[in-house]
Amino acid sequence: MSSDNGDRVILTHPLGATATILKYGATCILWTVGGAERLWLSEGAHLDGSKAVRGGIPLVFPVFGPGKKNHPTEALPQHGFARTSTWEFLGQTTSDPVAVQFGLGPEQVPEATRALWATPADFLVVVTFTLSATLLTTAVEVANTGSAAFDFQWLFHTYLRVQAIDSVAVQGLVGQTRLNQLTSADVTDSHEVVFSEEYDLVYKQVPESVAITVAEHGAVTHTTRRVNLPDAVVWNPWIAKAGGMADFTPKDGYRHMVCVEPGHVSSFVSLAPGALWHASQELL
């Protein structure tokens, strides 16, 4: 079942799983299975619409990272405007699994921010959250409802909760090419990702057949599957970066999270007038 609680919608599965989605950013801030929290949410996260939520599953659109030079996204804020706009709750579509939808159009984006996208884009983005007993699926559909093509990027900025980062390994990416955003170097991983400093890695063109897993002491605790999202970012801010973010608390919170972020971010999706684009991530 789902309940609209004003600024948020709460999903409850008959077997006990829950999810809470803020209408601000259509940000999933809570997902529990068997009473255990599966996502990481900063204690300092702004949940009042004053700032993008630090944690959960922020939605990144129409650009990942800073606006791109000499591109219509150049003037946009980091990670675009989807996570800082209030989405319309469109209602529940199924009861088991329980699914709800949220929609974003230009009219819901703060005008000052919308004007920064140098694209005469008329668009409609619909995100569907589907909660089953053990899975949370987040699916997105982007529609070009205007008469001009536009380019965009999409990413689910998923903060996964872990027990202790020093016992974590992110698996499935060996042999994949990645851009180290900290050094701008392209490298190919020869081993699973383990953490001892800030990691900010964009894995490019990772086959959809690859399930990206998070293991703790060798036991898989999270599995991320992707549809039509060729790239995946792996991020942990570590000590200094966590210390520098006012809304990242407690400061040792970096020990209890790792971001595995499915997206289309190493290039832009070009969407013709009238065209639709679909993608999804499935979390177990």
Interaction site with ligand TA6 (CB under 6 A): 52, 65, 78-79, 157, 181, 200, 233, 235, 259, 261
Which of 102, 248 has the CB closer to ligand TA6? 248
- Residue 218 CB, shortest distance to ligand TA6, in Å, is 26
Which of 52, 257 has the CB closer to ligand TA6? 52
- DSSP annotation of 67: P
CA pair distance 206, 234, nearest whole angstrom: 13
Which residue is closest to ligand TA6 by CB? 235
Which of 87, 235 has the CB closer to ligand TA6? 235
Residue bearing tokens 């939520």: 53
- Examine the residue annotation and report whether 157 is marked as an active-site residue of this protein: yes
Phi-psi group of 111: left, alpha or beta (phi > 0 → left; psi -120 to 50 → alpha; rest → beta):
alpha
- Residue 168 CB, shortest distance to ligand TA6, in Å, is 17
Could you tell me if 241 and 182 are in contact, meaning their C-beta atoms sit under 8 angstroms apart? no
- Which residue out of 79, 157, 222, 264 is catalytically annotated? 157
Residues 6 or more apart from 104 whose CB is under 8 A from it? 26, 82, 85, 87, 88, 124, 125, 126, 127
- Examine the residue annotation and report whether 208 is marked as an active-site residue of this protein: no
- Residue 200 CB, shortest distance to ligand TA6, in Å, is 5
Residue type at position 186: D
- Residue 181 CB, shortest distance to ligand TA6, in Å, is 5
- Which residue out of 13, 79, 222, 261 is catalytically annotated? 261
CA pair distance 135, 117, nearest whole angstrom: 35
Catalytic residues: 157, 261
